[in-house]
Structure 1
Amino acid sequence: MDITHLPSRDHPVVHHVSPADTFNWLKLGWRDLKKAPADAVFYGAVFVIMGYLLVFYFKDAPEVVITLAALFLLAGPFLAIGLYDIARQLEIFKGTRVNLVHSMLAWRANIPSFTLYAALLAVLVFGWFRVSLLMFALFYDTSAPTLALLVSEAWSPEHLAFLIAYFGAGLIFAVVVFSVSVIAIPMMLDKEIDTISAMAISVQAVHKNLMTMVCWAAIIVLLTAIGFATYFVGLMVLIPLIGLSTWHAYRSIITYER
């Protein structure tokens, strides 16, 4: 099955969308999930397994668990390429068929752009990893509190300052990654476009639809938090829903003209 890119001479146009459109994206994502449940849930299952492995291997290092959980959110758009491809296949073939293997290899459609994006993301991820561990070192001279203690005493004065500083720093990284990736990654999958151009258009789209994209980011964080709160089980459905819906966000915001 061959799915070609849009011609490179097509010019992307950024449209204004309202916050109410986010619910339509979720509706369309849910529709796609019902059309290809096994393929979509496959990706959700991968995220669930990753979550359990994370807790199992780093259960005695809460600072690593929290840091990697945040990295999960930062790298999520890139890891969801396969889900974007599933939504694209459903769109192209009118929901009649989906090739899971094709979605797993979708990144090959634009190797140079995805490679450079992965390199840039790795730099940001490494930066967050170092900043995160530095936060723990600054606030806890001896040893970090357990994860259970941080959760149970989150609002105590002893831990509140740390949480404000930690999530404040994390928010900066999250805003940067979200802004340069939310539209860029679906676009690089859909069109032969270089990484920097795609990232610039993504930032433009976020700027033009600031309130809408803030709402969309909040929905993503909320759904992911629900997935974490269900001991990762909820991620099996929620991650595919977010990925498929994000493709429709891209389609809603970006059109092309000659």
Structure 2
Amino acid sequence: MEAEPISESPIRLEVGVATFADIRGALRAGLRDLARRPALSLFFGLVYALFGAALIAGLTVFDQIWIVIAVAVGFPLVAPFLAAGLYEMSRRLKRDEAFTARDIFSVIFTQQRREFGWMSFIVLFVFWIWAYQVRLVLALTLAYQGFRSLDHLFSVLFTTSEGVTFLLIGSAVGAVLATVLFSITVISMPLLLDKRVDFVTAMITSVKSVVQSPVVMLGWGAAVGALTLLAIAPLFIGVIFVFPLLGHTSWHLYERLVREK
């Protein structure tokens, strides 16, 4: 993967301490962006929802029901790098710049030639680690038994002692991986779109934002995960609205926390 060269003069960044007021302010700004450009914002939500629904349907058709667990829990983890268009919309709205859908899609396509592509690879790599961890825990707790349908899967998970054990262990493992992935992406994705920095610098900056404000940032991460899972539940319909809202909000949270020295 060929990346565009980073500026010879490295950008020096400082990360502010996050507060719950920052989260509320970013959410309000995200709602305003969604209201200002609803059609394009909801289009990204629709694409994300259709992708998730098609993925679940495909796994079901090909009798890979067990992976549904990994996909359902890991689905929110891959959202940040799919939200590049929403970040760009918020960036331009903040500057009162006029833009068309074509302008936004052009920015998305150019990201593959920048450090954003490497960051996307890391996100997907962690996601697949999560998927294989699910398979391992299934083998240890449920002897990797096959599942006839989603109803059978949920019945085993919630009505048997082995299923409850799987949920407890899987939740612990998932929480660790989700925390790691959230920490390296919460700021890095919008930062890579906005500044000429390498993906390692972006990840370090993102982790620094979490380390400096662990309660606020991890609380925000838990809220993002919970909202996305709730949105997925009713046939992914809620994702159409929740995904663009969280994308716009993430941009404004980044803007509040990161400054050039």
Instruction: Verify same fold: TM over 0.5.
Output: yes
- Asked if structure 2 preserves the Cα contact closer than 8 Å seen for 1:110 and 1:189, the reply is no
- Is 1:88 matched with 2:94? no
Amino acid in the other structure paired with 2:230: I
The 1:58/1:230 distance shift into structure 2, 3 A limit, reads: same
- Is 1:11 matched with 2:8? no
Contiguous gaps of at least 5 residues in structure 1: none
1:36 — aligned with what?
A: 37
The 1:246/1:167 distance shift into structure 2, 3 A limit, reads: same
Shift of 1:181: 0.7
- Asked if structure 2 preserves the Cα contact closer than 8 Å seen for 1:86 and 1:100, the reply is no
Shift of 1:30: 0.5
Map Cα deviations across residues 114-172 of structure 1 (whole Å, 9 max, x no partner): 12212322332222222121222222225244533454552652311100111211111
Q: Where do 1:176-255 residues align within 5 Å? A: 176-255=180-259
CA distance in 1, matches of 2:154, 2:131: 20
2:3 — aligned with what?
A: none
- Asked if structure 1 preserves the Cα contact closer than 8 Å seen for 2:135 and 2:144, the reply is no
CA distance in 1, matches of 2:92, 2:204: 26
Q: Normalized against structure 1, the TM-score is what? A: 0.88
Contiguous gaps of at least 5 residues in structure 2: 1-5
The 1:20/1:215 distance shift into structure 2, 3 A limit, reads: farther
Map Cα deviations across residues 183-234 of structure 1 (whole Å, 9 max, x no partner): 0110000000000011001100111111111121122112102211221101
Q: Where do 1:72-83 residues align within 5 Å? A: 72-83=75-86
Out of 64, 69, 78, the residue aligned to residue 67 of structure 2 is 64
Amino acid in the other structure paired with 1:117: M
Shift of 1:49: 0.7
Out of 104, 119, 122, the residue aligned to residue 121 of structure 2 is 119
CA distance in 2, matches of 1:125, 1:51: 14
Q: How many residues align?
A: 251
Q: Where do 1:169-180 residues align within 5 Å? A: 169-180=173-184
Map Cα deviations across residues 12-35 of structure 1 (whole Å, 9 max, x no partner): 111112123212211110100000
RMSD: 2.3
Amino acid in the other structure paired with 1:123: F
Structure 1 SS opposite 2:259: strand
CA distance in 1, matches of 2:143, 2:11: 56
Identity score, percent: 29
